[in-house]
Structures are given as structure tokens and as C-alpha cells.
Structure 1
Amino acid sequence: MDEVEVVVAHAERATLRVGDVFLKVDPDQARIDIEVAAMALAPVPTPRVLWHRPPVLAIAAVPGRALGRLGEPSTSSPAAWEAAGAAVRKLHDGPPPSWHGRAGRGPDELAAALDAECAWLVRNGVLPAGLVTRNRQVAEAALRPWTPEFTHGDLQIAHVFVDGDEITGIIDWSEAGRGDALYDLATLALGHEEHLGDLFAGYGTDVDLDVIHAWWSLRSLLAVRWLLDHGFDPFAPGCEVDVLRSRL
């Protein structure tokens, strides 16, 4: 009998692996519904849905391995990173869904959330005030109008799978929807700045690097409290706090 592997587990949701099947347990039915709908619409390789019985979604494992991991050097080839960029471009070129995703928050909403998190980080002594202030300034470039596109919304490097130089699947679509395309690119390259050239070559259009840097600062500032509250370590080498320090 296959053993049960806990892939990730926290108060909001859990993902288990049994052999070649992933079981996603999520009491938020809306998130599961979005994941199923987004995978059906996405013009890129996605996991196959095996069955869906709330609050559990069963999907088949995708072949290959993750493009990389946050906090670790990526051993994937430049061609694999270029292929990832091409896949993201194909996603963004697809007809956007009818709903807004995580990357769909407007500048005013983001600015309010950012100000609240920055105040919390300084007030509780989690991060030095100078580090927070500098990254809040950098993040300003992301607070601009954008054209809604089909975005994944949580395009972490570990969510893109490759076999050699080919993209075999993109997983975890619960945050997908209409949103800012550069949020996806920034999320994928977070902590792996050395691969931006290959990623952009595959993406195939001009990318505003200042906005990528802004999303790194913004995303990291917003993430620190959530990560600490859910048992993750944003202070681990190469992770969110190191990303913030790199902007100094």
C-alpha cells in the first residue's frame, strides 16, 4: 500500500499525496470551484481532475519535477526557464475568465493592505523600519493600472513542472482569475533573479523590470505575517526576507 505523504498542511487547507494521486482538502468551496474551472480553461498543461467531492479534490500527479524551490538554487536548464516563460505567455494570451483572482486586486486595495502590513511589521519588531520603508517605496511601482489577463495568481516556482526542457504541468490554480500578468512573472522568478533573462526570452514581450522588482517587494511584505502565522519561515535563506534585503 502507498504511504500517505503530507505535501502541505495548515489551518486553511491541506494537500496529501498517495501514490500518483494528490488529495486537496479545502473547506472553502469557492477556492476548489475556481481551481477546477481554471484548470479546464487554462491553455497550458494542468493536472487531470480525477474526482471532486467537497471538501476534497483528487487530481493526478503531473510528470517531471518542479522547476525549482524558493530558497534553493534552481538546477533546471536555461531552456526549461525559457519554456516556462513561453507557457506563461500562452496563459496570459488566453481569454481571461469571468472572475478576478489574487492578482486582480486594484491599486487602492493593494496600497491599503500594504500599509497595514508594513505598520504591523514595524510595530511588532518583525522587520527593521528602514527595510520596510525602502521596500514600501519600491513596491509603489506595482500600484498602477494594468490590463486584466488570465493569471495563475500563485505561480510559485514549485508549481511549474518540467521534464528536461519541456513544461509538463502547472499546478495549484485556486487563486487564478483576471489579474496583472506581471504579478505572475514576478512570483515565478521570486528569489531567482539570475533566471530572469531566460524567463523573459520565453515570454517574448518587453517586461518592465521596475514593476517586477516592485512585485517582489510587495508580495514579500504582504506574505511575512501569513507565513509566520501558518508555520512557515520567511527568514529562511533565499526566502521572502532575503528578497526584501536585496532591495536595499
Structure 2
Amino acid sequence: MGGADEGPSGRVRHDVQVVTVHGDRTTVRVGDVFLKIDAVQARADAEVEAMALAPVPTPEVLWHRPPVLALAAVPGAPLGRVGEPSTAPASAWRAAGAAIRTLHDAPLPPRLGVGRDELAARLAAECEWLTASSGLPSDVLAHHRRRAESVLRPWTPVFVHGDLHASHVFVDGGRVTGIIDWSEAAQGDALADLASLSLTHERHVDDLLAGYGAEVDRDLISGWWSYRCLTAIRWLAENGYGAPEELPEATWLLSS
């Protein structure tokens, strides 16, 4: 995506590409530079701090002059995308697991994550909205709410990315070349990261966990899949990603 080429005068031309636009922030790409425009300075500050602390490959910060954060592009290609088959090799999924284990074993960042009470309140609010507005069957919502409630238990906090979609992990062959979008990094539940990364990529879980190298409760990963889908649909719909019933998160709820 993107890059520089020759314009009619022979000068190098950089296309401006809009990567994401929503109510929280906008990201554009110019050549190999990403410009993140964030209305909340504290969120951008937290992202810069998290990347400095994380013991895994992250984008280079070129400059930060609020409200704009300039980041260098990372090499490689995304590990996958929600709702689409991943073409990354098994070695890439194992490398992603190893990188996430390195992150989770690192010293805790200073930022506190979301606690169980807030997670429970959000789940209740989103399920109420889904019941009234999504068109999804009530029995499907009830089933996944029960699964999602299983994650509302005590956990030992670790350094989590907090928004670890497969599209945020870049790989080249069997190595991780960069992990992007650290604005939600904080202390949190390790299984939330693993579940977010593997959402709709169930067939790669064995390789992911082999790289992670620790015993985990797979039922809780399934619970986090349900939680992530139930709590993401409204935000995605309201920010232009599609009608609720057409989103891959809704498709997953209906099929699982």
C-alpha cells in the first residue's frame, strides 16, 4: 500500500492515502510515513510510551507534535485480517506467539488497564444495544454473553498490547517485523491479547500457542472471542465499517 513514484516532471511523487477515519483519530500515509492525528493527546502520549517500553519490534517514531504522531512504515505484511483467511505460514504464527510472550513477560507498564467491573458494565451495555439494534437472534446473543462472562474473573496483569488484531502484527516469512497501534497498551489479561490476535483464525491457534510457549485456558480464549465480538459491533457500525449484521464479528457470532 502506498509508496513513491515518478510524476510527469520526473520528480518523486508521494500519494496521500487515507488509512483509517473515525471519531477517535485519523491515519494517513504519505510514502513510507504514517501520520496519526489524534484528538486525545494523552492517548498518543501513551502510544509513544508503550512503544518505547515494549521489547518487540515497533514502528520508529519520526516525530510527535500533538495532535500529530509521525511513524515510519514497518516492513512485511499483516499476519491476517478479521474475517479473512490468513495466508501467513505456520512459522509466522509461531513467531507472533513468541513475540507476544516476550511482551507479556516484560515489566509492567505504568498505565492501568480496564478492570473487571468496567468490562462487565461494557458487556451489559453492548448486549443491550445488540438486542435492540443489531438484528442478531436473541438466543445467539445469550449464548455468547454467557461465554463472554467467563473472562470476568481475577487474572495476573501483564504488559498487553490491548488492540492486538492480526492486522496489527506484520511478518516477513517466519519472523515478526513490527507490531503497530499501541494506543491501548496497558496492564491487562494476557488471554485477551491472544484471543484478539486469533479472532476468526481458529485454525492457527495451535501454532500461535506453540510459539507462545505456555499453557493457557483455551475456553477462556473462546470467551474472549465472544467478548470482543459482542463489544465491537456497535463501534464498528457507528464508525462506517458496515451494517451490524454484515460485520465479520457478527458472522462469527452466528457460526460459533
TM-score bracket, normalised by the shorter chain, equals over 0.9
Q: 2:253 aligned with 1:241, yes or no? A: no
1:35 to 47, 52, 56: 47
Q: Any unmatched runs of 5+ in structure 2? A: 1-12
Segments of 5+ residues of structure 1 without an aligned counterpart are: none
Question: In the alignment, which residue of structure 2 is the partner of 1:191?
Answer: 200
Paired letter, 1:94: A
What code does the residue aligned with 1:17 have?
A: R
C-alpha RMSD over aligned residues = 1.1
What residue is the counterpart of 2:100 in the other structure? 88
Deviation at 1:126, TM superposition (A): 3.1
Report the identity percentage.
Answer: 60
One-letter amino acid of the counterpart of residue 162, structure 1: V
SS across alignment from 1:142: coil
Match of 2:230 among 213, 217, 221: 221
Give the whole-Å Cα distance in 2 for the aligned partners of 1:174 and 1:241.
Answer: 25
Larger Rg: 2
Q: 1:24 aligns with which of 36, 48, 71?
A: 36
How far 1:244 sits from its partner (Å)? 1.2
Partner Cα separation in structure 2 for residue 182 and residue 125 of structure 1:
27
Q: Deviations over 1:34-92 (max 9, x none)?
A: 10000000000000000001100000000111111112110000000000000000000
Match of 2:82 among 63, 67, 70: 70
Give CA deviations for 1:3-52 in whole Å, capped at 9, x if unaligned. 00111111211110111000001010011001000000000000000000
Q: Give per-residue Cα distances to partners, 1:82-124, cap 9 Å, x unaligned.
A: 0000000000000010112xxx322222112111111111123
- Give the TM-score, by structure 2 length: 0.92
Q: Pick from 137, 140, 145: which aligns with 1:131?
A: 140
Greater shift, 24-33 or 228-237, is seen at 228-237
The 3-state SS of whatever aligns with 2:14 is coil
TM-score (norm 1): 0.95
Residue 150 of structure 2 aligns to a residue whose secondary structure is helix
CA–CA separation in structure 1 for the residues paired with 2:125 and 2:230: 10
